[in-house]
Each structure stands twice: as C-alpha cells, then as structure tokens.
Structure 1
C-alpha cells in the first residue's frame, strides 16, 4: 500500500471485550487502517461505550458491515458467524475471523470467497508456531497433536459437556473431557478451541489433527501444547495464555493477535509467512 492511498476501512463484528479492544486500537490510530463501523446486539450500549472514541463510527446490523468496509473482522458469538462472514465474502471483502473453529462448520465459505473475489485471513490468535506448521505442510506432515488445558470455568457451557452430561462443578483434579479430531472439538467447544481449528487449517486438516481437552483446576492460564512430526522437522511448542477478565473462554492475546494481523495487511514489511 502506498503512502498516498486511502486507508483501508475496517468494520468490527461484535463489540464485546475483544471487539472493543480492537476498535479502540483502530480509533487510537494504525497507519493505513481506519475504523468504519461496528456491530453489537445492544446498539445503545455500544454507542455509549464509544463515547470516549476520538472518531465514533456507526453501530449497524451484522449484515451491513460489508457495505461499509474493506476488511470485516468477526469477534462475535459463534451463532452469528455466518451472518458476518458470508456478506463480507460475497462483497469481495477481506474477512478476518476470530471464531476460527466455525470455518470447519461453514466450510463452504472458502468457495464463496473464490466465487466473489473475497479473502479469508486467519490470525495466529492464541497459538504460536503456525508459520512452522505451514512450512512443514509444504512437505509431508505425519501427525499433529494438540493438548489443551483450561481452568474449568473457562469450559463451562460448552455444547459437548451438555450433550454428554459432563459436569465440572467442584472438580479438584485434572479431567480429560475430550479426545478426538479438531473438527469434532470445534463443534463441541465452539468458544474454546479456535486455536485447534487454526492449527488444523495450517497443517493436515481438521480430521487428521488430534485434540485433547483437559479441565484442570490447577492451571490459571489457557495452556496449549502442540507436537508435530514431519519429514522436514519434528517440533513441539507450548503457550500459556492469560484468560480475559471479561471472558475466561478466550485469552488476552486474542485481541492483540487481531491487531497484529491487521497491521500485517498494510505494513511495508511483514515478518512471518
């Protein structure tokens, strides 16, 4: 992007903890980008939250975001994922999803992007090493395994727990609550394992990527350990993310990752593939 070009307009779908942090960073100023609109279930509350912004923007319906922006960022509940992503891609926009696991559920969105000239850009999120996994995938990856440990309160309300009558109340030791594919994990824990979905998309796909989820009262951070076996390298990585105070299901680094992703779209130099 040249210095003389107009900044790319960014719309933020969802105005909770992550959406607010992202919108505020854009309002504070990121070269080459401008906040254009946000969406929120409670429009009045969102408008009130925006009072401290230097340049308040319209609070609109989810489906209207694509009309007002070049880039649409999704940071909303998984139930409205498609209402943000599909219009953005049909309008030929760049769609940046944070509920990455929903890409495994709505796997036709890639075809919509191809048909309409849209683009899906997945941020690194709460996971390290995606560049290494993507590089290894250019050769042959034999296996990818991810083990996630979270405080029980960060897993409460997951559909998989409710469907299988798994209670985490009063848990006093680590409990394995899921062992399966990244695809099934994304369906059962839509608010918890977006990192596993991103890992699977970078590597060998959601059906071959193995995932274990542990509810562990001994941990205070959302912890992920990944092991990759490939013909080019064998590597392991781990990260301990500080949960957000507003939403313990996600980490503080998630909003920062989205900001870094947006900077990378317009920066004159980008580090990492």
Structure 2
C-alpha cells in the first residue's frame, strides 16, 4: 500500500483524502500540508482511518511513495524537482507550472534518472486520450475555448494587470485570446486544462486559448478542437464548479481521484 502526501487542503485535496479514507483507493495518507493551519485541521478531522499527520512537504519527500500537489503553481515550482530527484512519484494538478520549458525538462530528466513518475490527471476536460493518440501523427492545430462565470475569474492576474472590471458585465465577453503559455500565467487558477492539453498535443506556444467571461451561466465550460492527420475532433464539456471554490470544477477533483485509483490498479484502460 503506497504512502501518500497531500500538498494543499482545498476542495481537491479534501476529496482525495476522503477517497483514500473511505477505502475507494487502496493507499495510506502519510501526511498533509497547507499554509492554512485551519484547512489542514479541517481535513484531519474528516479522516477516520490511518494516522495522518500535518507535516512539511520536505518530510513527505523523505517518507512518501507519492506526493499529490493540489495547491498552486508555486508549490509545483518549489517541490516537484526535489521530489523527482529523490525518486518520489508526483501527481501535479497545477499543471501551468510546466509552461516553463526549462523547468519542465529539469523535472522530466530528474524523474527519468531516479525512476520516479510524474502523473498529470486530465482534469476538467475530456479528450486527452484522443489528443495523445492524434499526436502520434501530425497535428495542425489545437484550440481550447473556456467559458466561465464571472465569479470563477475574479482576481486573475491578467484581469488585474489589464484593468478589466467584470463586476458590471451583463452578457458574455471574450476577455482573452492567445497562447496557452500566456493563458496559464494570466489565469493560473482557471486554465490548468489548457496546460494539460498543451502537454498532450503541440505545446504551450502553439495551443490557442480563448477565455470568455459569461455572467449568464453557472457552469465552467470547455471546448477542445483539434485538426490533424487523423481528422477532426471536437469535444465539449459543461462542468459544475466545486461547492467551495468556483474556480475549480468538480470534475477536476474526480479526475485526481480517478488518476490515483488508476495508479494503484493492476488493470489499465485507455491511452
């Protein structure tokens, strides 16, 4: 049974801990960490099995088989490389951190040298399996259009830096169009799906991203469109936001739990 460390005790971290605690995933929670002591304490109160403790990520790197990052891009930048160098497997939810090609390559090389694995769940979008298959031949274009309620976009660096006020918005508005590399910096808590799609397909600089603020909806919507030698693929999904964080889709948490279950399952299905 693998020992897991959880970095980040928000909605996704809580769902993962609950899945392990219930026995849905055959694993053991070794430790949890969050900058908010209150959040970490709340998660510990929920757990009924094992002996999980609050501990620093550095301790997890020394003691765990797998670390799950569900905190922030900063957490990935700080802990992914030490974990990979120490031979510890890592699941990354804040995938936008890998838009830096030098950092991505360092983590990949360290994992290859130590034998560790880096797992990236598909998150709040569908179609990653088909996109990875399509990438075995030529892909001419990949685009992701994200439509979110205003509450799910508030506080994004791109909006602040460009003095974009959405508080009085009455109808859908295209607020960003550019590359995935730009999108994951400007909207670090909103478009991890774009980072995942970039890694599956043609990269951060060639993947086109459009972000629409829509005050008329309550769901997070993503549309993936791909053209290549295989043909044409178009996938659309409407996600309910998590009950506690409008920036996070509920499916993103389910995807993380599903990935963890796949890691521990002897039967592997799909690409």
- TM-score band, normalised by the shorter chain? over 0.9
Aligned to 1:95: 90
What displacement does 1:63 show? 2.4
What displacement does 1:223 show? 0.3
CA deviations 1:194-242 (Å, max 9, x no partner) are 0011001001111111000011111211100111001012110000110
Q: Is the 8 A contact 1:66 1:91 kept in 2?
A: yes
Aligned to 2:44: 50
What displacement does 1:31 show? 4.9
Question: Where in structure 2 are the equivalents of 1:1-273 lying within 5 Å?
Answer: 7-43=1-37, 45-55=39-49, 56-105=51-100, 106-107=103-104, 108-273=106-271
TM, length-normalised to structure 1: 0.93
The 3 A distance-change label for structure 1 pair 195 and 172 is same
The 3 A distance-change label for structure 1 pair 31 and 16 is closer
Cα distance between partner residues in 2 of 1:44 and 1:218: 34
Q: Is the 8 A contact 1:39 1:65 kept in 2?
A: no
Q: Give unmatched runs, 5+ long, in structure 2.
A: none
Cα distance between partner residues in 1 of 2:45 and 2:225: 46
Aligned to 1:3: none
Name which of structure 1's ranges 71-80 and 135-144 shifts more when overlaid on structure 2.
71-80
Cα distance between partner residues in 2 of 1:15 and 1:215: 27
TM, length-normalised to structure 2: 0.94
What displacement does 1:160 show? 0.9
Q: Is the 8 A contact 1:62 1:83 kept in 2?
A: no
CA deviations 1:128-163 (Å, max 9, x no partner) are 010000000001101001110000110011111111
Cα distance between partner residues in 2 of 1:227 and 1:198: 14
The 3 A distance-change label for structure 1 pair 230 and 261 is same
The 3 A distance-change label for structure 1 pair 44 and 155 is closer
Please provide the CA RMSD for this pair: 1.5
Count of aligned positions: 267
What displacement does 1:266 show? 1.8
Cα distance between partner residues in 1 of 2:237 and 2:144: 11
The 3 A distance-change label for structure 1 pair 39 and 238 is same
What displacement does 1:45 show? 4.8
Q: Which SS does the other structure have where 1:46 is aligned? A: helix
Q: Which SS does the other structure have where 2:95 is aligned? A: coil
